[in-house]
Amino acid sequence: MKALVYSAPEEFDILDIPVPQVGPKQVLIRVKACGVCRTDIHIHSGRFISEFPLTPGHEFAGTVEKCGNEVFEFKPGERITADNALPCGHCYFCRRNEPLYCENFYSLGCNGPGGFAEYVVVNSEKVFRIPENLSFEEAAFTEPTACVIHCMDALKIKPGSSVLIFGAGPAGVILSQMIRHCGASNLVVCAPTEKKLEMVRKLAGANTVQIGRSGARDAHQIIMSFAPKGFDYVIDATGSSEIVEQCFDFVRVGGCIAVFGVPNEDAVVKIKPYDIYRREIKFMGTFAQTHCFERAIGFLAKGIVRVAELITHEFPLERYGEALDVLKNDREAMKIIIKP
């Protein structure tokens, strides 16, 4: 089969490799669509939790090609997507029912073979059927939508809250839609690219403020005019340390700041502990997801979270390098789908 294979960071090729073996409780998936994500840029440089050699691609959907001999719940031809997060089940945290903190966190497309290939093999309990009305391209958004659900679980947004989001990439737009439908009465999204803000207004009915690349300081007054006492929740969906630092300027007393975008591992921010203490600010992170796929498909299947509009590019596997370039350099690029 054709697969994208990294031998080391920044060194990849399309190779012809054997179709993976299917274990008794596993399913072989013919990949029809696999999303490229900012995380794939981190993985390209050898960051995040990447291990090499590696076939990346953690946002995939396709059809069942073959089932292991102990798999009875699926049959070949069914349209499916799969949860790429595989906690080990036996470490300290797994045994405390906190699988996201798994000490042996295995994630297809990050440190195990993923979906930028014609076939990928997945444990059957991680496979989820997708409804007819969802295209493979849309179903490839199940993973980012699942990460957003995990973020929502962590935030526990109270109905009627005010929420400020920095960043309007695909995950930011999905998060905006979900926050809109899960009780926020006042949602403001800030980003530098007008085209992305337009998408947020259309899909999430949010107020938007265009900001510069270095952050929101110049737009402080306009942003605060939407929530004069500060926002209940301020969420970074950019991964930029400048933005994370500036979140403190917009959160209300007793409010919450969440880091949802993927920062660089060596990024550093300056924060004032006195500010956190005196204003009782909650400062939290939300990373990936486990066990959120079922609910994610629900949002997508019902069209409550809309993603088709987020697809700006589609490439065959052979043009993966070009896809990475577009994601890095084209400010208006949203989701790029690879079709192996």
Q: Which residues bind Zn ion (CB under 5 A)?
A: 37, 39, 87-88, 91, 94, 102
Which residue has tokens 């700041």?
257
Task: Point out the residue whose Cβ comes nearest to Zn ion.
Answer: 37
In sequence order, which ranges of 207-287 are alpha helices (DSSP H)? 220-224, 241-246, 273-278
Q: Which is nearer to Zn ion, 146 or 189 (CB)?
A: 146
* Least gap, CB of 147 to Zn ion (angstroms): 7
| Contact predicate 288/111, CB 8 Å | no
Between CA 61 and CA 68, with CA 63 as vertex, the angle to 5 degrees is 115
Residue among 144 and 215 whose Cβ is closer to Zn ion: 144
User: Minimal distance in Å, beta carbon 142 to Zn ion?
Assistant: 11
Whose Cβ is closer to Zn ion: residue 100's or residue 184's?
Answer: 100
CA torsion, ordered 56, 200, 155, 134, to nearest 10 deg: -50
Question: 128 - beta bridge partners?
Answer: 81
Q: At closest approach, how far in Å is the CB of 331 from Zn ion?
A: 19
Q: Which is nearer to Zn ion, 38 or 180 (CB)?
A: 38
Measured from the CB of residue 276, what is the shortest distance to Zn ion in angstroms?
30
Burial bucket for residue 216 (CB in 10 Å: 0-12, 13-18, 19+): buried
Nearer to Zn ion (CB atom), residue 91 or residue 222? 91
State the nearest-atom distance from the C-beta of 87 to Zn ion, in Å: 5
In whole angstroms, the minimum distance from the beta carbon of 92 to Zn ion comes to 8
| Cβ nearer to Zn ion, comparing 101 with 283 | 101
Percent of the chain that is helix, strand, coil (3-state, to 5):
30, 30, 40
Q: Which residues pair with 314 in a beta bridge?
A: 337
Nearest of 236, 76, 117, 84 to residue 169 by alpha carbon: 236
User: Closer CB to Zn ion, residue 162 or residue 176?
Assistant: 176
What is residue 248's three-state secondary structure?
A: helix
Residues in Cβ contact with 134 at an 8 Å cutoff, skipping those fewer than 6 apart: 297, 300, 301
Nearer to Zn ion, 39 or 246 (CB): 39
Alpha carbon distance 166, 169 (integer Å): 10
Minimum gap (Å) between residue 144 Cβ and Zn ion: 5
Closest to Zn ion by CB, 35 vs 255, is 35
Least spacing, CB of residue 162 vs Zn ion, in Å: 28
Find the shortest distance in angstroms from Cβ 155 to Zn ion. Answer: 19
**Token code pair at residue 69:** 């001999």
Give strand ranges (E) for the chain: 2-8, 11-16, 26-36, 59-67, 79-82, 85-86, 106-107, 119-123, 127-129, 162-166, 186-191, 207-210, 231-236, 251-259, 282-285, 311-316, 335-339
